[in-house]
Each structure stands twice: as structure tokens, then as C-alpha cells.
Amino acid sequence: MLDTTLFSAAGKAIEEAAVRKFEASLLGDIILPGSERYEQARQHWIGITDPRRPGVIVRCARTADVVRCIDFSRGNELAIAVRAGGHSAAGDSFCDGGMVIDLSGMKAIEIDPLRRVARGDAGLTVGEFDRATERFDLAAVLGECSSVGIAGYTLGGGLGRLMGKHGAACDNLTSVELVTADGKVVRASSNENGDLFWGVRGGGGNFGIVTSFEYQIHPMREVLGGVLRYPIADIREVLSFLDDYMMNVPDEFDLAVDIGNSGVMTFAPGVTEPIVNLAVSYCGGLAAGEKALKPLRSFGHPLADTIRAMPYIQMQALSDIRPLAELGSSGVPMVIESGFIERLGEEEINIIVASLAEAPSCFWITAEHYLHGAICRLAPDRTAFCLRRSGYTTRIFAAAREPSETDESLAWVQRLRATLEPFSGDALYVNYLSEGSGEAGVKTAYGCNYERLAALKRKYDPTNFFHSNRNISPV
């Protein structure tokens, strides 16, 4: 007997025999409330248990399982959420009641080193994909956090340290396999279902469940990379220098700026004193990289300069998300908001510097992945991903180590985000949208492509079956 009864969205009980028949049809398995596995399956990547309680979690093994999940959910009026890497900042990976379709166990990968093409299942993480391509001295455009899933990352556009040279992750997609709202398995590429292929390259999970991705991959062995670390007293001087320097950097260059004192900054884990940290990489020839980085490395008096030639996969592993995950799993209240700034100009620097005087005891400001080069050369309507302008994606983070700091931390993050918003150029990165971004944030992120995406949503998902995402309404 079932430990619990599964109900439709309308409150109708689903017969146990129907659930058991569905379970028997799966190559994977189902997890129901009342078991230890269920509690574990509700954990976010940072170790926090999601407060929502799905009626059933299905661990899919193949695309056929995804088809069966969609058919069963639609037939029984179950709401769904889709989980792959589980890093969604907006909590899209879970739902109350209904079904979580979990793709995290789908990890097949095939690499054709002659054609420089790799096909990977939706459950793969960035680290797993990188390790597979590294054996052939090849790499895909992926992010720097190894535990992020390739699925949500790519469907939202995909910024990474190779984007100046090779474009966004979605620009390097050659095809996807996708299960539509009516349970059909389709392939989308430039030659098949071209409108759908346009939409999945930046439109998120709005049009179906993508079960595999095929990417163009690129020769990549060594990079010149590392960190430059400065005392917080040098912040104005460092940011002012960067504002000029970044205007002429080559396509091969990537930069992430971390400012904080929390000990959880991804490129300065464990460092608790206030610092400014620059994580840089150059993915071209080493001699050209030394020349390009020389003005930056010669500037000022850094506390540390760890830049050196290293394997690309080692540079990818330089980002350490574990301290942030450990902080989250400890139950400390945290808040994070995202944004975009076009430049680190004088006004923006003044705002950031002034905010430090009011910062809570645990804070982190990041301006990362300066968009330039290949990613900015495509027209905004070439793909659904429309963020094709120069600038930095930003995130502002604070944690309340003491209960009395909770309100202060939240207020500081929201105040700084709002003060910087006029310098965003009405741009946002959809993958960084938080749960509170709402419809306005989604429309800003999709920009000039929103109406076309809404029309595509009406064609492929007119009932908004896929709505646990940065949702585009078909209405």
C-alpha cells in the first residue's frame, strides 16, 4: 500500500493502482512522501530541504521516462516541476503537491573529437561535462561552477569564461532533444523545428523538457589564469582602472570581480577580511595573454597574484562554491539579488564604495563575466537570449550570522540593487533572476524577444503546462 495518497490539482485522489501501473512503466523509479529518500530528494544543492512537498518525485533514467511523466501528469491533472542540476535561484526545481520530474540521473555523454561535437544528457553537471571533453583537449562554453547543471544553464543563455571568444553556451548548441507538452519527442536544430530551436536558446524550460544537448566544442588545453587580490582600501583605484582597461580587452579575456568579507566568495573562499578579488583568464596563446594581462598585473600593489599558465579544467575548478553551500546548509538566513551594469563608471563606483560603510557583517558583491566579443556580435533577436550588450552581470549577497542581522541584511541588499538599477540599461540575465523578480524581471530579461516568445509559448504550450520556470505566459 502507498504511504500517502496522490491528489490532482483539483483535489481528486489518484487510485493506487494507477500509480503502481505508472511506476511499473518506468525505467527509473519514483519516490513518495514518508521515506528517508523523499526527504533527501527534497534537498537543494546547498543542503537546505525545500519547504514544498511534491506528491511524487520521479527519477528518470531515459527520455521515455520523461514522456511517461508528462502523460501521467496531464492525464491526472498534476502540476509539475523539472529538476536537473537543482541550482535554480528562484526555486523552480520543486513544487507543492504534483510531480517533480528529476533528470539528474540522466548522464550519458558522447564526444566526436573529429567533428568537435559533444552530445550530453540533461542531468550532467558542468564539472562532469568538462572532465569528459578535457580528455580530448576540447571544451564547451560552460560556466565556472562545477555543480551547476548544463540544462538550466544552457537554456537560459549560458555565460562563461569562453563567451568572448566563442559566444554564449546557447550560441554553440547544434541541436536538442525535447519532450513537448503533449508528450511528443522532437528534435530541434537549424534544420528541424527551427522556431523551437530559436526559443530554447535562451527561453528556458518554457516549451518542453530538453533531455539532451548537442554542442559545438572547441580546442582548449592551457589558459593563463588566476586571481589578483587587493585590500579593500584600494577599491576605488582598482575599479576605476578596470573601467578603462575593460574597454579594450581581447575576446579571449574574462573577468569576475568579487568584493566582500564573508569567507564565502567563490574565488576567495575562507578569506574573511575585506578584499577586492579579480579572477581573470585568457583562453588564447600564452604569449598574447601575457601581453594582454601585463597592464592589469602591473597596476597597483596586489596582496596576491596567482596568475599562471594552467590546464583549462584547473581554471574551471578555481571557483569554490563549498563555503557558500556549507553556510546555506547551516540554516543561516541569506538573501541574493541580481542585476546588470554596463560599466564600472564613476557613479557606479561611488555607489558601491558608499554601500560598504553600511554593509552587514557577511556580504559579497560580484560583477562578473564582462560581456564583450563574440557574445555581443549577434543581434539580440538572433536567439531568444537577447543579452548582447557590453556590461557585467551583478549579484549582491548578504547572510545574517546573528538573528538580529536578518532585516539589516535584506534591506542592504535591496537598497544597493535598487540604487544600481538605473545603470543596468534595462538588462538582466535570466539565469540569475531570483524568486522575487516576478513577471517584470522576466520581461526585462527577455527584452525585445518577449512577444515572439509568448507567441511560441501559445504554439507549443498553450495551457502553460510548463510553468515552474522563469515563466512566459501564453496569454
Domain containing residue 270: CATH number = 3.40.462.20
What is the DSSP secondary-structure string of 410-443? HHHHHHHHHHHGGGS-S---GGG--GGGHHHHHH
Q: Are residues 236 and 364 in the same domain?
A: yes
Most confident among 29-33, 38-42, 83-87 (mean pLDDT) = 29-33
pLDDT band, very low/low/confident/very high, at 434 (cuts 50, 70, 90): confident
404, part of any domain: yes
101 grid coordinates: 520530474
Question: Could you give the percent of the chain with pLDDT greater than 70?
Answer: 98
Of 219, 244, 270, which one is at a domain's C-terminal end?
A: 219
pLDDT for 358: 94
- Domain extent for 190: 109-219
pLDDT over 60 at 188, yes or no: yes
CATH of the domain at 35: 3.30.43.10
pLDDT over 70 at 261, yes or no: yes
CATH of the domain at 155: 3.30.465.10
Residue in the block written with cell 529518500: 37
Of 57, 80, 102, which one is at a domain's C-terminal end?
A: 102
pLDDT for 78: 95
pLDDT band, very low/low/confident/very high, at 1 (cuts 50, 70, 90): very low
Of 171, 199, 219, which one is at a domain's C-terminal end?
A: 219
- Report in angstroms the alpha-carbon separations of 290 from 220, 223, 267, 297, 331: 17, 11, 21, 9, 44
pLDDT for 4: 65
pLDDT over 70 at 367, yes or no: yes
453, part of any domain: no
Mean pLDDT of the chain: 93
End-to-end, the C-alpha distance of the chain in Å comes to 41
Q: Are residues 315 and 303 in the same domain?
A: yes
211, part of any domain: yes
pLDDT for 73: 96
CA distance linking residue 58 with residue 231, whole number of Å: 49
379 grid coordinates: 543581434
pLDDT over 60 at 300, yes or no: yes
pLDDT for 3: 53
Q: Are residues 113 and 139 in the same domain?
A: yes
pLDDT for 212: 98
Q: Are residues 25 and 51 in the same domain?
A: yes
Phi/psi at 459 (5° precision): -75, -45
The phi-psi region of residue 163 (left if phi > 0; otherwise alpha if psi is between -120 and 50; otherwise beta) is alpha
Mean pLDDT of 209-219: 98
46, part of any domain: yes
152, part of any domain: yes
CA distance linking residue 338 with residue 329, whole number of Å: 21
Q: Are residues 92 and 136 in the same domain?
A: no
Q: What is the pLDDT of residues 229-260, one digit of tens each?
A: 999 999 999 999 999 999 999 999 999 999 99
Mean pLDDT of 165-190: 98
400 grid coordinates: 545574517
Q: Who wins on pLDDT, 289 or 331?
A: 289
CA distance linking residue 179 with residue 187, whole number of Å: 9
Q: What is the pLDDT of residues 99-143, one digit of tens each?
A: 999 999 999 999 999 999 999 999 999 999 999 999 999 999 999
pLDDT for 47: 65
Q: Are residues 194 and 287 in the same domain?
A: no
Sort 24 into a burial class: Cβ within 10 Å, 0-12 / 13-18 / 19+. exposed
Total structural domains within the chain: 3
Mean pLDDT of 409-429: 96
6, part of any domain: no
Q: Is the pTM of this model over 0.85?
A: yes
Chain-centre distance for alpha carbon 183: 26
Q: Who wins on pLDDT, 6 or 18?
A: 18
Q: Are residues 247 and 293 in the same domain?
A: yes
**Closest to 431 in 3D by CA, of 186, 145, 223:** 145
Mean pLDDT of 69-73: 97
78 grid coordinates: 498534476
Q: Which residues pair with 164 in a beta bridge?
A: none
